Structure 1
Amino acid sequence: MNQERLLKEKQEEEEREREQKKIVMEEKIQEWLKMKREQEKLEQLVKQSKEEEELQRKLEKQREIKQKAQQKYKDWLQKKNQEKIEREKKEKEEAALKEEQEKERREMAEERFKEWLAKANEKSRASPKSPCYAKSPYDKSYPSPSFCNPIPWKPIHVPPPDTSLNKTSAKKLQKQRKSQQSPSTVFRLRNTVSGAQLWQKR
């Protein structure tokens, strides 16, 4: 009886130890799982943070590129506008200079014309009026010519070509053609003449 009781106590003790070990094991497993979850969570947070940082860097880089492009376009547009202003200013200056030169040229031409007209009027007043030009209402505006040819113009007489020279030239040309005939042609002509004479004799 006593032995059975000891055996039973021993079994109960072993059962308690197993239960205790099981509890300890479960606690360790739960602790490990908790630590694992925390580690994974931390790794996920680190990964997410890195991705966000990378995204921020990309966005910042794109923003810088966009700002540089806008600044570059702004500088280019400002340069073009400045060039346009300078070109228009230069064109206006050239047009004004050209107009001034044209004005000076017209004034100089008018001055020279007035001087010439004054000299011509003085010359016409100093010289007597030419009898070969009749007075007209334009005499006051334009001076009379300083020279008048009293001899009227006549056509120059051209003698007709000499016909005797043409006849002599024609005869010379005919002789040259006869002298240039080939012997075969002369032979054929002689045969023709002799044949005609024989026919007449018959």
Structure 2
Amino acid sequence: MIITRSERQTIPNTRGRAIRTIALLTAMIVLVDFHLAPALRAADELTVEEAAGKRDKKPASKYIDEFGGKAPERRDSGTGLQVKDPRLACMLSLIVPGGGHVYLRQDLKGITFCLLTGVGYGASAYYLYLSLFGGASGTEARSDLIVAALLFVVAAIIHVVGVVEAYNDAVDINEKKFYYGQAQSESPYVARLEYKE
């Protein structure tokens, strides 16, 4: 049986409605699980500083004790070695493309990976939408679907390269700090003599 165009327009588009409903429900679940629920749970809990302050309070003693109090905490002034965790850089880059590079203070590289991956995924989603809901004929829809798949693969490759690059950059930064010290001298010599007159 062949359905004409006018008959097709009278048939309700149930598939499109079902997909829209599923997408809306998924977005609502993600919103509730990842944004609203943690915010509500965090409002009831104490912060680390508040919990530490309540735990350390002792009843006042009638004797003066110099060493009974807590020593003032020294904050790291940045003179020590700050090791960049390669796994954290890798995970940040996996969650948000370029996030690991921003963690490693390589902002331009991070923004580049984020934009390239975002454009690739966005173009892939656009062509997927055109192939499913664009109203094109069979061959046009298939070609749009193939283009969407190719763009997705390219974006996924760029994403994976960004993850691996963030991991390797973190390892390189740590090795430079270990071998050359905090000053990060790029000199290949072990010692450098400075002559002052």
TM-score bucket of the superposed structures, by smaller chain: under 0.3
> Does 1 or 2 have the higher relative contact order (CA < 8 Å, sep 6+)?
2
TM-score by length of 1: 0.27
**Highest CA radius of gyration, 1 or 2?**
1
TM-score by length of 2: 0.27
